Amino acid sequence: MTSDKPDLSAVEKRDKSELKKTNTEENNALPSKETVQQAKGYVRTA
């Protein structure tokens, strides 16, 4: 009988010291409110 879960034994046995340290940066993919208003053709001033 087979299980629905994948076999993770190779991942669990992996030596974590071989892995490289990486730095992650958060990327804001949404434009600012001002950019959206400029794209619409107007800029509202307070």
How many CB atoms are located within 10 Å of the residue 37 CB? 13
Residue 2 confidence (pLDDT) = 61
Tens digits of per-residue pLDDT, 1-46? Answer: 567 888 888 888 888 888 888 888 887 788 888 888 888 886 566 5
Which pTM value belongs to this model? Answer: 0.29
What integer pLDDT is reported at residue 45 of this predicted model?
61
Report pLDDT for 42: 67
Sorted by sequence, the CB contacts under 8 Å of residue 44 that are 6+ apart come out as 37
